[in-house]
Amino acid sequence: MIHSRNRRLRVNESIRSLVRENILTTDDFVMPIFVMEGENQEEAIPSMPGIFRRSIDLTVKECKELFSLGVKSVNLYMKVSEHLKDNTGKEAWNKDGLMQQTIKAIKDAVPEMIVMPDVALDPYSIYGHDGIIENGKIVNDATNDALARMSVSHAEAGADIVAPSDMMDGRVLAIREALEESGFTDVGILSYSAKYASSFYGPFRSALDSAPKDNMEIPKDKKTYQMDFHNSREALNEVFKDIEEGADIIMIKPGLPYLDIVAKVREAIDLPIAVYNVSGEYAMVKAAAQNGWLDNDKTIIESLTCFKRAGADMIFTYFAKEAAMILNK
């Protein structure tokens, strides 16, 4: 005779919900947003159905709608005009730049929205790399100086948390010291601590035109600074260093193919963990759903819940708005 029957706790939805270990809510989401120059401008991103580049005025409108749905955090990326790009990234800390104007506009319109601008030089670089290039190499320390200036500029514009995604060594410490010296002691750092050199970023890079340029004199990819996808112990090394340097939140990117890294880091640290459900993951689900191969809504919720089950506290996802609508039903 069987005494222990696990199916007793699966009899109906009421029982299943009573013993459910992880609950997905709109509080878990951070919505990445692409911003472009102009007014009343909106451009669809073909490889990311339902995602757009928008001018500041329409971005503000979108943020108001997101907040009304319960999505309280946004992550900002700029589509930078070609004539503003160079090898120094100096447009990144222009106090009147597109990023700075966007931060101010969102905080003025939706003061309670948490604004997390991306801190990296690739959208501002003529080479499409996250760092300054000298003699054919991405140089680390000079890039850190630029990232620190960029972060202070974001804080001056009203950013709540800066999010360095570049993977330079020591940049968290450089940013933390710069913020402290400038009086921005309450501005947080969400560090992309374990960011892998991944094939899943393709749609994102096409959205911002931020892929490395085809130039024989520079690295053709980002493997000299982003992590090797074969490695997992290395992720813990990166995480511990960023915590020592003053990171407040740890990011793991990409997401679904790297749930083992999320779980490993969760076991090792107590700090909040963010995970990035990246553009390639989004595009795959959308393509399958459009072909009738997957149920769109169910797949979205299952995928996002998996991040929480693995140990993430927050999820950067292009599904944020759509998932909020599903959950709000």
Binding residues: 238
| 79 in active site | no
Question: Which one from 85, 195, 222, 286 is the annotated catalytic residue?
Answer: 195
| 223 in active site | no
Any alpha helices (H) in the chain, and if so which ranges?
Answer: 13-18, 56-69, 98-109, 140-157, 171-181, 202-208, 233-245, 259-268, 279-290, 296-310, 320-328
Entry field: residues in the chain? 329
Point out the annotated binding site for Mg(2+): 238
Q: How far apart are CA 245 and CA 148, in angstroms?
A: 13
Helix (H, G, I), strand (E, B) or coil at 94: coil
Angle between helices 320-328 and 56-69 (to 10 degrees): 30
Is residue 27 within 8 Å of residue 66, measured between CB atoms? no
Question: Which one from 85, 107, 222, 253 is the annotated catalytic residue?
Answer: 253
Is residue 251 within 8 Å of residue 276, measured between CB atoms? yes
CB neighbour list of residue 280: distance below 8 Å, 6 or more residues apart: 198, 199, 200, 201, 202, 203, 204, 254
Structure tokens at 46: 């073909």
- Give me the active site residues, please: 195, 253
